[in-house]
Structure formats: structure tokens, C-alpha cells
Amino acid sequence: MFGNLLPSRDRFRCMRNGHAMHRRKGLGGTMKGVVNIDDLRKLAKKRLPRAAYDFIEGGTDDEVGLVTNEQAFRLARILPRRLIDVSVRDQSATLFGRSYSSPIGIAPTGLAGMFRPRADMMLAEAARDANVPFVMSGASTGSIEDLGKLAPDHGLVPALLGQGPFDL
């Protein structure tokens, strides 16, 4: 799925179902030189139509949610631990009674199909293949039935949130 975004060096070759992925005509590109989120934003701004970029980069309610999320991420700290044995690692987690390879998954991405055909399906497939959580957006461009067929035992969760303020 991400073959057209990965650097073209052999050590970063993307595999899917045992086959190397090849860049599709018209979808090409490279992430050479992209090392952080700001670089990724600049690249997206160059490549996407303005309406698509503004939709991804923006937030609802005068971007209050966007600012709140960015502030929360700034508070999180990932501290490296050095000189420890990492030959056996396990970041698996059980969420809602199902075991996943990682607690970090794919969050709801509304109107993902606006940016790439079948994007919702591709996100669900990637989550299934990596055994990570996937939450389907209430504004998905794919149907819940089609997404369910892709990964019937994966526990795809639809995000069905009501209108107005609420607390989780």
C-alpha cells in the first residue's frame, strides 16, 4: 500500500503478500528528505489539490480540536532506553477483548476516499495485515459491509459519534 511513498533504496523495499510493490504510474513520488511531520506537511501541500490538503490539515470548530490534539501530543514523551536487550520485544495489547500486535492503530479518517480511491479499504487491509486496531470513520467513503468482508475477524470498529459536545 505504501510502496509509492517509501524511499527507493533496496533496504526499504515494501513487500505485500510476498511480492515487491511497484510504483504505479501517476502515483509516484518519494519521501526522500522527509524526516518529520513538518516535512510531510510540506510534501503533502505540494502534491495534493488545495481542497484535499486543507481538509487534511484543518480541524473542526475553528480548529479547536486540532490545537487540543497537538497540545496533547507535545505532552507525550517517548524516552529511549539504551544498552538493553531488544532481541525479544512485545508491544502487544488487548483492547476490547481482542489481542493486537500493538495498541497503536489507525484512527478514523473521514473522507479518505477523497484523497485516493479505495483508501478506506487500503487502511483496513493495512491494519489487518499488521494486526493493529482500525476504527472506521463515520464519514467513510467505503461501506461497513465491504470493510467487514476484508477482515471479518479483525474487530473493525465503526466510529459512530453523535452531534454536539460529548465526553468519552
How does pLDDT run along the chain (168 residues), one tens digit per residue?
A: 334 433 433 333 333 333 333 333 334 467 888 998 899 999 989 988 898 888 888 887 788 888 888 898 889 877 888 898 989 889 999 988 889 999 999 888 888 888 888 898 999 999 999 999 988 888 888 888 888 888 877 766 666 655 555 555
Residue ranges of domains in the chain: 93-163
Contact 137, 159 (CB under 8 A): yes
Q: Tell me, letter by letter, the H, E, C secondary structure of 36-91.
A: CHHHHHHHHHHHCCHHHHHHHHCCHHHHHHHHHHHHHHHHCCCCCCCCCCCCCCCC
**Residue that has been written with the C-alpha cell 459519534 in this structure:** 161
Distance, C-alpha 7 to centroid of its chain: 18
Using an 8 Å Cβ cutoff, are 107 and 126 in contact? no
What phi and psi, each to the nearest 5 degrees, are found at residue 158?
Answer: -80, 140
- Whole-structure pTM over 0.75, yes or no? no
